[in-house]
Amino acid sequence: MNTATRKYIELDERYGAHNYHPLPVVLERGKGVFVWDVEGRRYFDMLSSYSALNQGHGHPRIVAAAKKQVGKLALTSRAFHNTLMGAFLKRICELTGQDMALPMNSGAEAVETAIKAMRQWGYLRKGIAANRAEIIVCRGNFHGRTTTIVGFSSDPDSSGNFGPATPGFVTVNYGSLEDLEAAITANTCGFLVEPIQGEAGVLVPPEGYLAKARQLCADRKVLFCADEIQTGLGRTGRLFAVDHEAVKPDLIILGKALSGGLYPISAVAASSEVLGLFRPGTHGSTFGGNPLASAIGLAALDVIVREKLPANAAKQGEYFRRRLKEMRHPLVVDIRGKGLLTGLEFRIPTRPLCEKLMERGVLAKDSHEMTIRFAPPLTITRSQLDSALRAIRTALS
């Protein structure tokens, strides 16, 4: 570690709360699938800021849209209309097949919006008694960091010392239809689920689970809400992860790659039966749907569709996992995932392995101690993957 790297890390450690444990690298710039540190070393970015960079670092079309709009009009608040929000929300609705969309900023804000929307629907449409609505969630979930969300997390690091937990949530085992069916009552207004649990270690549910869960929710008059913040917008080889089972959720939550990594943008899309229940004053966001965010979001979605990034993710992801399996590493327990979202589970803690990867020019992150998550930008090519695989093989040997 040279003087410059040490200086930046010491500054972070001195003035920042210690709520993260990053790898000891200080990044300075990025382009496409690569990032460079302050020492001039180049790395493959195999995390993509937890799938916020599906379009790669600094995609020229998205950057151009941001530059054009930031010098024109960045923020109006929702007290006034702007020229771009409507077009942005229309594009989201076209891609998701939903009637309406509600823009927010962070993924956690969008999840909170979906929670409010499901509860409101439960009271106004399903007829649940006041303050009795329940939402079913899955064990191992990760939906954000607000006090409400961490209250139904099963990760002690996320929820410990932040109680009391917000009531109204019931936890079931991920992938279990029997658990889901048993948990539904007359007070159940929604089922909140990740199509693949990314933070839990890239856990893929049994085939058919999502389609059957969606049908069960429809039969029992429960809203099916898919959290596609990490899995959506091409990451798993389809535009949305639920598309693998031809599922159309009642609500779908988007974030991260909705901005191509340039700006915090999120949204909830749903039918008018759900989002149409909001009235002025019942929910809001100063920055949500601002013209800068809308310009960036439109460009980010355009890149995903025009450059056929979901198709590339499907092709390269299958190749990547096949090559990983060919390594036959004695400490690997499982290799799983879809598209360019891959979990490599080991018999040993993986933090030291991530440090070895970093030394070989590959940035990835340990997930739940025993798994390394690989999620490169969806623009990655076969030759770039081969180079990354050579570095991974050397590091893990």
Question: Of how many residues is the chain composed?
Answer: 397
* Token duo for residue 310: 């979901």
| CA–CA gap between residue 247 and residue 212 (Å, rounded) | 9
**Active site residue: 45, 227, 250, 366, which one?**
227
**Active site residue: 37, 44, 45, 256, which one?**
256
Is 386 noted as a catalytic residue in this protein? no
Is 142 noted as a catalytic residue in this protein? yes
| CA–CA gap between residue 45 and residue 300 (Å, rounded) | 19
CB within 8 Å of 193: residues ≥ 6 apart: 137, 138, 141, 174, 210, 213, 224, 225, 226, 227
Is 227 noted as a catalytic residue in this protein? yes
| CA–CA gap between residue 230 and residue 123 (Å, rounded) | 30
**Active site residue: 142, 169, 240, 320, which one?**
142
Could you give the residue numbers annotated as active site? 142, 227, 256
